[in-house]
Amino acid sequence: MNNLEIIQAFDKLVPNPKCELNYKTPYQLLVAVILSAQCTDKRVNLVTHELFKNYPTPEDMVKLTYEELGKLIFSCGFYNSKAKAIIDMSQDILHKFDGKIPQDLDKLISLRGVGRKTANVIISEAFKGDAFAVDTHVLRIASRLGLTESKNPDQVEEDLKKFFPKNSWSKLHYQIVLFGRYKCKAVKPDCTSCPFQSICKYFQGKRANNN
């Protein structure tokens, strides 16, 4: 399958992909994405629903200590490191960027607690820019479909950006994430009627083992 055939297949599989995290501002999305590491979007939405009532902006968030914020986000897991990341990031936004979320990748990753994947999600989702965020689902599926030989997220991002046209990156990111979340799971993917069987290394390997 060439790049356009793969895009068409994803358009059929996931016609209207969208971010499953709730937010009202780019800052809130940034907080939600940090909380979403190793946690479900559903759980993050429950936590941020309460958190953003009292702490919707970086100005509000920095009033909390790490410990206080940790208690509020406890159920998302890794609450100590996430609380530190959120408060440090909020301080950087206030002190380095006058309280505004930068739209540029280099500036976003200069914020403490913000990695490349998070920055790419902010660019594509909050600012509607062209970016290809590589998370665990994208890593797994890019590898299964033979779109990369690498396991390094930065290299996988490069490979995907070379293979697919720029205007497809952001949508494809969500399509792949949702495909990975609900069908092409890490363990026991549902390969029934999958349009990628002919190029999928996982599927080919499974079939070879059964023969």
Look at residue 196 and give its three-state secondary structure: coil
Interacting residues with ligand SF4 between 140 and 169 (CB under 6 A): 144
Both tokens of 98, joined, read 């006058």
Please name the residues in contact with 116: beta carbons below 8 A apart, sequence gap of 6 or more: 105, 109, 134, 153, 154, 157
Please name the residues in contact with 132: beta carbons below 8 A apart, sequence gap of 6 or more: 120, 124, 138, 157, 160, 161, 164, 169, 170, 172, 173
Can you tell me which residue has the tokens 């940034």? 30
Cβ closest to ligand SF4, residue 117 vs residue 144:
144
Q: In whole angstroms, give the CA distance from residue 191 to residue 7.
A: 18
- Please report how close the Cβ of residue 6 comes to ligand SF4 at its closest, in angstroms: 11
Cβ closest to ligand SF4, residue 93 vs residue 142:
142
Cβ closest to ligand SF4, residue 105 vs residue 191:
191
Identified binder of ligand SF4 from the candidate list 19, 21, 87, 184, rule CB under 6 A: 184
- Please report how close the Cβ of residue 159 comes to ligand SF4 at its closest, in angstroms: 17
Interacting residues with ligand SF4 between 21 and 80 (CB under 6 A): none
Cβ closest to ligand SF4, residue 73 vs residue 147:
147
Identified binder of ligand SF4 from the candidate list 119, 189, 207, 208, rule CB under 6 A: 189
Identified binder of ligand SF4 from the candidate list 24, 117, 200, 208, rule CB under 6 A: 200
User: Which amino acid is it at 86?
Assistant: I
